[in-house]
C-alpha cells in the first residue's frame, strides 16, 4: 500500500511569535512538523508495519528550509519525500491544496493522511480541499483508523460519543490527537534519512499557478493582555465569589 | 553554534526524549538510588548506547559531536542518566573499539552498542585514585590465562554492565609500565560486583566495587599489549573528559533553565525577582559561563572528530565546564531562595549532581597537572610554536 502523508512545517508550539507592524515575525522561531501531521505520519508507518509492506511518501509545500521537516519524518521511518519548493511560505490553502493535488495525481497513493489542521493558522482546510480536487472522500478529526478491504473505518469523537465513518479508498484522512503516540526518530533512522530519496518540484513543473481573488491575511494583533486572576479559598469565600461574578464579571 | 544537520536532529530527538521520558522520573531515580529498569531498553530502541560506533558493530555510525550533544541533552534533565551514557560509551565501549582485536570487537561491541548490556571500566582502586599508576590489582600468567586478584572502587555502571575493561599490574615494580588492560564478562568465577555506594549526587547511576579473587581471564581477552595498558587508560580518559564536560554543561544548563524561569515567576517586593540587578548579574554571568563551556566542549569534540590531537583541549574543556557548571548550579539554587533547598525543585538535585564533574575521570587538580605538562611540552597556544 502506498500512503501519502502531507506535512506542514510550522513554528514550534512553544515558539515565541512576534507581530511587527501588523505582520507575523517568525524569524527567531524554531520550526517543526505540525504535531497533527506527526500523528498522520506515525499512522502511515503503523499501517505499513502491520501489513508487512508498503511505502510512506511525505509531501510538503514551502520554502527550502522546510526540507528539514521532511527529513525529520524520513528519520522517523517514512520512505521517500516530495518537496514542492516555493520561494516563500504559502499562506493560501487554495494554492497549497492545488499544488498538493497536482503532485498526488502523479503518485496515485492508496491513502492520503494529513493532520486535521496545522497548529500555525488553525485553518483545518487543506486536507479537505485536496480531497475535493482529487474527487475522493475525506474524513477529518479522526482519532482511530482501521484499514481493511479497500476501506477506511474512521472514528471521530463527538461530545456525546463516537461517530464511526466508513469510506472507500483512496481517501484523505485527517489525524486528531489520540490517533497514536508518534515514535522518536532513532539514531540509526537519522543516519538512514540522508540516503532516502527526496525529490524537489516547482509549482511551474506541476503546471499550477497561484490563484487570484483569494482571501488574504491583512493584519495580526495580539489579544489584549489579561489582568491577573484572583484566588479564593475555603467555603467561606463562596458568597464573595458569587457577588463578584454577579457584580464585577457580570456573568450570572 | 555550528553543528551539522545530523547533530541538530540528534539534539531535537534527545531533548524530546529527555523531556518526555526521563524528566518525569529523574527525582524518583535520585531518591531510590537506581535507574528506572525500563529506561535502558527504551534508550536502546533509539540507538543511544552505540552512537559513535560503526554500523557493522550495531552502532549508529554518527560523529562524536552527536554523542556529546546526546549526553548534554540528557544531562539537562537527569545527570544520573547522563553519566550512565557517558561512562558506557567513553569508558566501557571506547577502549574496545579503539584497542580491541577484530575478534574482541565482534564479541563485545554489538551487545554494547545495542544496549543488550552496558559497559564499565575499572581503573580506580581504594589506594590508587589520582595516582592510577599505583594499581595494586595483579594479574599473573597461568598457561593461556591470567589470574587476577584485587579490588576496584567507584566503578560506574557495574550494576548494569555485561562487560568490564579493567587495569591490572602484570609487572608491579615497573609501575605505569607494568599495567595491562583486560576485558571480561560479568558472570565469571572469582569476580563479583561489590557494594553499591550511597552517594551525594548522581544517585540514580550505579557506582560499586569490583572484587577479583583468583579470577581467571583468558589471554584472548587481554586488551592491547602486555605492560602497555596504561596508555589504553590514559587515551580512554582523554575522550572520557569530553563527555564529562558535556555532562557538566548539561546539568548546569538544566539548572540555569530552571532559574531563568523561576526568576520570572517568583515575585518579591511586588515584582518578579528577575527585575533585581543582584539576580540579573547571576543570570548574566551564568549564561556567559555556559556559553564558554559549550564552545570548549564542542571544540574538543570537533578536534576528536577531525582526528586531531585533543588531549589538552579535552582536559581544559572538562576542567572549565566542571568548575563553571558548579558555579552556575550554585547561582541557580541561590535564585530559588529557600525553595532551591527543597527536593520539590530540580535545582536541589542538580546542585548535588554536578559536584562529581570536579572529581570523576580525574579531579580538577589532576586536570591542571595534565594541562600544565602539555603547556611545558608543547607551548601554548599550539600554533604559536609550530
Ligand atoms: C561517582 C563516581 C564515579 C566514578 N566512576 C569511575 C569509573 O567508572 N571508573 C574508574 O576507574 N573510576 C571511577 N571513579 C573514580 C574517580 O576517577 C576517582 O575518584 C578520582 O580519580 C579521584 O581519585 P580518589 O577518589 O582516589 O581521590 P585522591 O586521588 O585520593 O585525591 C584526593 C584529593 O587529593 C588531590 N590530589 C591527589 N594527587 C594530587 C597531586 N599530585 N597534586 C595535587 N592534588 C592531588 C585530588 O585532586 C583530590 O582533591 C568514580 C568516582 C566517583 C565518585
Ligand atoms: C531549611 C530552611 C529553614 C528555614 N527556617 C526558617 C524559619 O525557621 N523561620 C522562618 O521564618 N523562615 C525560615 N526559612 C525561610 C528563609 O529565611 C527564606 O527561605 C529566605 O529568607 C529566602 O526567602 P525565599 O525563600 O522566599 O526566597 P526569595 O525571597 O524568593 O528570594 C529568591 C532570590 O531572589 C533574591 N532576591 C529577592 N529579593 C531581592 C532583591 N530585592 N534584590 C536582589 N535579590 C533579591 C534572593 O536573594 C534570592 O536569591 C527557612 C528556609 C529553609 C530553606
ipTM for the complex shown: 0.87
CA distances from A165 to A41, A162, A168, B295 (A): 21, 10, 10, 55
DSSP secondary structure letters along B140-163: EEETTEEEEEEEEEEEETGGGEEE
Answer whether B84 contacts ligand 1 (Cβ < 6 A): no
Q: Would you tell me which CATH number, out of the four given (3.40.30.20, 3.40.50.10420, 3.30.465.10, 3.40.50.620), belongs to the domain A2-206? A: 3.40.50.620
Strand spans (E) along chain B = 118-122, 138-142, 145-156, 161-169, 179-185, 191-196, 207-218, 222-223, 267-268, 271-272
Q: Pick the residue with more confidence: B195 or A202?
A: A202
User: Per the structure block, which three cell numbers stand in for A232?
Assistant: 479564593
A72 touches chain B (CB under 8 A): yes
Interface contact flag, A187 B45, Cβ < 8 Å: no
Give the model confidence (pLDDT) of B304-318 as tens digits: 999 999 999 999 999
Distance CA A137, CA A115 (A): 16
Q: How far is A185 from chain B (nearest CA, A)?
A: 7
Find out whether B113 and B186 touch, Cβ atoms under 8 Å: no
Percent of chain A clearing pLDDT 90 (strictly above): 74
Closest chain A residue to the Cα of B50, Cα to Cα: A187
Candidates A104, A106, A195; CA nearest to B6 is A195
CA distances from A149 to A53, A111, A114, A169 (A): 16, 13, 21, 9
H or E element that contains B312: helix B311-335
Give the model confidence (pLDDT) of B243-254 as tens digits: 999 999 999 999
Residues of B in contact with A32 (CB under 8 A): 12
Give the model's pLDDT for residue A64: 96
Position B124 pLDDT exceeds 80 = yes
| From B209, B258, B348, B361, the catalytic residue | B361
Average pLDDT over residues B270-280: 98
- State the residue for C-alpha cell 517514512: A78
| Three-state secondary structure call for residue B230 | helix
Domain locations in chain A as residue ranges: 2-206
Give the model confidence (pLDDT) of A155-177 as tens digits: 999 999 999 999 999 999 999 99
User: Per the structure block, which three cell numbers stand in for A226?
Assistant: 489579561
CA distances from B236 to A111, A153, A159 (A): 52, 57, 61
Position B384 pLDDT exceeds 60 = no
B60 touches chain A (CB under 8 A): yes
- Annotated active-site residue B361? The verdict is yes
Least confident segment among A54-68, A111-125, A226-240, B72-86: A226-240
Closest chain A residue to the Cα of B54, Cα to Cα: A188
- State the residue for C-alpha cell 557495574: B158
Amino acid at each position: 500500500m502506498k500512503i501519502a502523508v502531507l506535512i506542514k512545517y510550522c513554528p514550534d508550539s512553544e515558539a515565541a511569535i512576534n507581530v511587527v507592524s501588523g505582520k507575523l515575525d517568525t524569524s527567531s522561531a524554531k520550526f517543526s512538523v505540525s504535531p497533527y501531521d506527526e500523528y498522520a505520519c506515525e499512522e502511515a508507518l503503523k499501517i505499513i508495519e502491520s501489513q508487512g509492506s508498503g511505502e510512506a511518501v511525505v509531501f510538503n509545500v514551502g520554502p527550502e528550509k522546510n526540507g528539514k521537516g521532511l527529513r525529520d519524518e524520513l528519520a522517523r521511518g517514512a520512505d521517500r519525500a516530495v518537496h514542492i519548493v516555493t520561494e516563500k511560505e504559502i499562506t493560501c490553502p487554495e494554492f497549497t491544496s492545488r499544488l498538493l493535488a497536482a503532485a498526488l495525481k502523479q503518485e496515485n497513493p492508496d491513502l492520503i493522511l494529513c493532520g486535521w489542521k496545522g497548529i500555525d493558522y488553525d485553518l483545518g482546510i487543506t486536507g479537505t480541499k485536496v480531497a475535493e480536487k482529487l474527487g475522493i472522500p475525506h474524513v477529518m478529526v479522526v482519532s482511530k483508523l482501521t484499514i481493511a478491504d479497500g476501506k477506511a473505518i474512521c472514528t471521530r469523537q463527538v461530545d456525546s460519543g463516537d461517530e464511526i465513518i466508513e469510506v472507500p479508498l483512496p481517501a484523505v484522512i485527517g489525524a486528531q490527537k489520540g490517533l497514536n503516540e508518534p515514535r522518536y526518530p532513532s539514531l540509526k533512522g537519522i543516519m538512514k534519512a540522508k540516503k532516502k530519496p527526496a525529490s524537489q518540484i516547482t509549482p511551474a513543473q506541476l503546471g499550477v499557478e497561484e490563484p487570484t481573488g483569494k482571501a488574504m491575511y491583512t493584519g495580526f494583533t495580539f489579544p489584549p493582555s489579561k489582568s491577573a486572576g484572583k484566588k479564593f479559598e475555603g467555603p467561606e469565600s463562596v458568597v464573595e465569589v458569587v457577588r463578584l461574578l454577579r457584580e464585577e464579571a457580570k456573568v450570572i | 553554534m555550528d553543528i551539522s544537520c545530523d547533530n541538530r536532529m540528534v539534539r531535537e530527538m534527545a531533548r524530546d526524549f529527555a523531556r518526555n521520558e526521563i524528566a518525569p522520573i529523574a527525582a524518583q531515580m535520585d531518591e531510590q538510588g537506581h535507574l528506572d529498569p525500563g529506561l535502558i531498553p527504551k534508550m536502546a530502541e533509539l540507538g543511544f548506547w552505540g552512537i559513535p560506533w560503526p554500523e557493522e558493530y550495531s552502532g549508529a555510525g554518527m560523529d562524536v559531536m552527536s554523542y556529546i550533544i546526546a549526553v548534554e541533552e540528557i544531562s539537562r534533565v537527569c545527570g544520573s542518566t547522563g553519566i550512565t551514557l557517558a561512562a558506557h560509551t567513553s569508558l566501557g565501549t571506547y577502549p574496545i573499539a579503539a584497542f580491541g582485536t577484530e575478534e574482541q570487537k565482534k564479541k563485545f561491541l554489538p551487545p554494547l552498542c545495542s544496549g543488550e548490556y552496558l559497559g564499565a571500566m575499572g581503573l580506580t582502586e581504594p589506594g590508587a585514585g589520582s595516582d592510577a599508576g599505583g594499581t595494586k590489582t595483579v594479574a599473573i600468567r597461568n598457561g593461556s590465562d591470567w589470574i587476577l586478584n584485587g579490588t576496584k572502587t567507584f566503578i560506574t555502571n557495574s550494576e548494569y554492565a555485561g562487560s568490564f575493561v579493567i587495569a591490572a599490574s602484570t609487572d608491579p615494580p615497573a609501575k605505569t609500565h607494568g599495567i595491562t588492560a583486560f576485558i571480561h564478562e560479568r558472570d565469571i568465577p572469582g569476580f563479583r560486583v561489590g557494594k553499591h555506594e550511597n552517594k551525594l549526587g548522581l544517585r540514580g547511576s550505579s557506582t560499586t566495587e569490583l572484587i577479583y579473587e583468583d579470577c581467571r581471564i583468558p589471554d584472548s581477552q587481554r586488551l592491547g599489549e602486555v605492560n602497555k595498558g596504561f596508555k589504553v587508560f590514559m587515551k580512554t580518559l582523554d575522550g572520557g573528559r569530553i563527555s564529562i564536560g558535556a555532562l557538566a554543561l548539561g546539568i548546569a544548563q538544566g539548572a540555569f533553565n530552571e532559574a531563568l524561569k523561576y526568576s520570572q515567576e517568583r515575585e518579591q517586593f511586588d515584582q518578579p525577582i528577575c527585575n533585581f540587578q543582584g539576580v540579573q548579574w547571576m543570570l548574566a554571568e551564568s549564561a556567559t559561563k555556559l556559553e564558554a563551556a559549550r564552545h570548549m566542549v564542542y571544540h574538543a569534540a570537533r578536534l576528536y572528530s577531525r582526528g586531531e590531537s585533543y588531549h589538552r583541549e579535552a582536559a581544559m574543556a572538562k576542567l572549565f565546564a566542571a568548575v563553571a557548571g558548579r558555579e552556575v548550579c550554585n547561582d541557580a539554587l541561590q535564585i530559588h531562595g529557600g525553595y532551591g533547598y527543597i527536593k520539590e525543585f530540580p535545582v536541589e538535585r542538580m546542585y548535588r549532581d554536578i559536584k562529581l564533574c570536579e572529581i570523576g575521570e580525574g579531579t580538577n587538580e589532576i586536570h591542571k597537572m595534565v594541562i600544565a605538562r602539555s603547556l611545558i611540552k608543547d607551548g601554548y597556544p599550539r600554533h604559536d610554536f609550530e
